[in-house]
Amino acid sequence: MQRQAKMREISKPEADPCAQDGFEVGKEAGGQRLDRFLATHLSDISRTHVQTLIDEGRVLVNGRAKKPSYKLAAGETVEVKIPPPPLPGVEAENIPLDILYQDADVAVVNKPAGMIVHPGAGADSGTLVAALLHWFDGGRGLSMVGGPLRPGIVYRIDKGTSGALLIARTDMAHLKLVEDFRERRIQKTYVALLHGKLKGESGRIELPISRDLGRRSRMTARRREGREARTDWKIRMRIGNFSLIEADLHTGRTHQIRVHFSALACPVVGDTVYGAPRQERVGNERMPVLERNFLHAARIAFMHPRSGKRIECRAPLPSELVFYVQGLGRAASAEANAIDAALRGFL
């Protein structure tokens, strides 16, 4: 049988840790879907892994990212960048943590903005996982369902986002919490300051979210084949051309709040990745640079995986976000009492 693709050598820069494979599409493979083509020629990895590589933009056809359903043409070049295998584990680090709740099965941590949850994308130290390992007696105090790089981690919060994060301390708790997330029994409420004016006092956003094929570090709500996502929101206060809101997540897609409000042309303040300016203006006055996203996981409510008791934890709004809203209010000539009322319940 004649091979449908010919392997060729591709030089790999020393700074790029990814293994790179390249294929030239033969005549026999013309018209074949990209995902099926790769599943055939990368027989040492699973189809799920192939799908992930495509979604993350690690597969290029003639130098451009394509959808899994893209029909290949004879003569095209397919390049694949396969990231290196993960490190065997994470070293514990003595990093202070703000623990909102803990017992033998679960914990809730108030993650600061700027901290990455687990190693990856070049961040091998200073992570929340490293801090958790120190706090909870290494692997003996955390669930290992997520593997050696993600002990205790059931879900993530973005680096630039702060707030309450639920941690599993036992494998039983981890599996039960995963089920509860899947069945949408866990309630997560965020506070966000948006650039722009939302229409109405409350609303619901139901736009599918998928990987942005042009920039793999981003997500997008513009592709029809994305995963379903729902965000409910209500206004806490309008301050000039800004909207202070609280948002309830009914799904937990990557960058969900950031993507959804960017799609409404109201990006989260500070979120330059999704369209917010680095420095906001109020009239002729420039606001100080926030140096983070104005997005905070203010509350999480869940049923305890062992007792079934309802537990609700609140993470106070960080001082830098409080000061920013107060400064924005002064610049926009908003009443201080109105600002205090809007923030009440989040302090």
Cα torsion 50, 56, 59, 62: sign: positive
Residue type at position 228: E
Residue 315, SS3 per DSSP: coil
Please tell me what DSSP assigns to residue 29: G
List the beta bridge partners of residue 8. Answer: 22
Please tell me what DSSP assigns to residue 118: S
Q: Which residue spans within 74-142 are E strands per DSSP?
A: 77-82, 99-102, 106-111
**How far is 317 from 246, CA to CA, in rounded Å?**
12
Q: Indicate the pairing of strand 281-282 with strand 285-286.
A: antiparallel
Please identify which of the residues 21, 44, 103, 158 carries the catalytic annotation: 158
Tokens read off for 99: 């623990």
Alpha helices in the chain (DSSP H): 34-41, 47-55, 128-135, 171-182, 256-263, 319-331, 336-343
Cβ 176 vs Cβ 305: under 8 Å: yes
Per-position b or e across 68-107, b if 16+ CB within 10 A of its CB: bebebeeebebbbbbeeeeeeebebeebebeebbeeebbb
CA 180 to centroid of chain Cα atoms: 19
158 is catalytic: yes
Tokens 């042309």, residue located: 265
- Cβ neighbours of residue 24 under 8 Å, at least 6 residues apart? 5, 6, 8, 75, 76, 77, 78
- 300 burial level (CB within 10 Å; 0-12, 13-18, 19+): buried
Catalytic residues: 158
